[in-house]
Chain A
Amino acid sequence: QKEVEQDPGPLSVPEGAIVSLNCTYSNSAFQYFMWYRQYSRKGPELLMYTYSSGNKEDGRFTAQVDKSSKYISLFIRDSQPSDSATYLCAMSPRNTGFQKLVFGTGTRLLVSP
């Protein structure tokens, strides 16, 4: 069983929809939680970072961490065709800080006009 599980998709939504992307994990030591966006033939780029539990909002993006359920989410409001990409969750435990990120396999999102 992988430490981080993520539905590969693809997830297809119409423009303007609210998108929910999720990851579950098994390692209770994970303290740092990140979401990366990866466009086709590009490297991942950081979208959101959250330390421990709680919510964080940045424009149309909201990240949520529920450590009791070992579940993290990324919500995208008013989705746009330019949001079409693969979204990767990543996390790491406190004792290794940000060195050894553990990634999910990614969810491919398609937003149609």
Chain B
Amino acid sequence: DSGVTQTPKHLITATGQRVTLRCSPRSGDLSVYWYQQSLDQGLQFLIQYYNGEERAKGNILERFSAQQFPDLHSELNLSSLELGDSALYFCASSRSSGTSGRAYNEQFFGPGTRLTVL
């Protein structure tokens, strides 16, 4: 158990709908990262928040947005859902912001949310 929690575990919805995925980081971790894992693309970095502020952005679609709240939990909002959005969504957390340096800033992954869009 990594200490990162994600809810819900499974989500089934229809095209065009909007869903919210929730993540609680490990105690003491300030950074939260969101990833999408699909069979053909593998694990892809979406976005990072550090202490409430957006820090890094990956290949996140405009239909997707995220935020990190004062208690450090984070939510990923997915709207106008398409069939291709069906995937596993992982949240990870780390102690620091993860900017350069040789000391490794390990990311701890949650169990994921499986999203199915019908």
Q: Residues of A with Cβ closer than 8 Å to B? A: 6, 32, 41-46, 49, 51, 88, 90, 94-106
Contacts of A95 in B (CB 8 A): 100
The A-B contact count (CB < 8 A) is 69
Closest A residue to B40 using CB positions: A105
Q: Which residues of B1-51 are within 8 A (CB) of A? A: 2, 4, 33, 40-45, 48
**Cross-chain contact A103 with B98 (CB below 8 angstroms):** no
Sample of 29 A–B contacts (CB below 8 Å):
A6-B42, A42-B111, A42-B112, A43-B90, A43-B92, A44-B43, A45-B2, A49-B104, A51-B102, A88-B42, A90-B43, A96-B56, A96-B99, A96-B100, A97-B98, A97-B99, A98-B98, A98-B99, A98-B104, A98-B105, A99-B55, A99-B56, A99-B98, A100-B48, A100-B58, A101-B45, A101-B107, A102-B45, A103-B45
Bound Cα distance A106, B55 (Å): 26
**Cross-chain contact A98 with B107 (CB below 8 angstroms):** yes
**Cross-chain contact B102 with A45 (CB below 8 angstroms):** no
Contacts of B101 in A (CB 8 A): 97
Q: Residues of B with Cβ closer than 8 Å to A? A: 2, 4, 33, 40-45, 48, 55-56, 58, 90, 92, 94, 97-102, 104-112
Interface of B is mostly: loop
Bound Cα distance A103, B41 (Å): 9
Bound Cα distance A10, B59 (Å): 28
Contacts of A41 in B (CB 8 A): 111
Q: Which of A49, A99, A106 contacts B42 (CB 8 A)?
A: A106
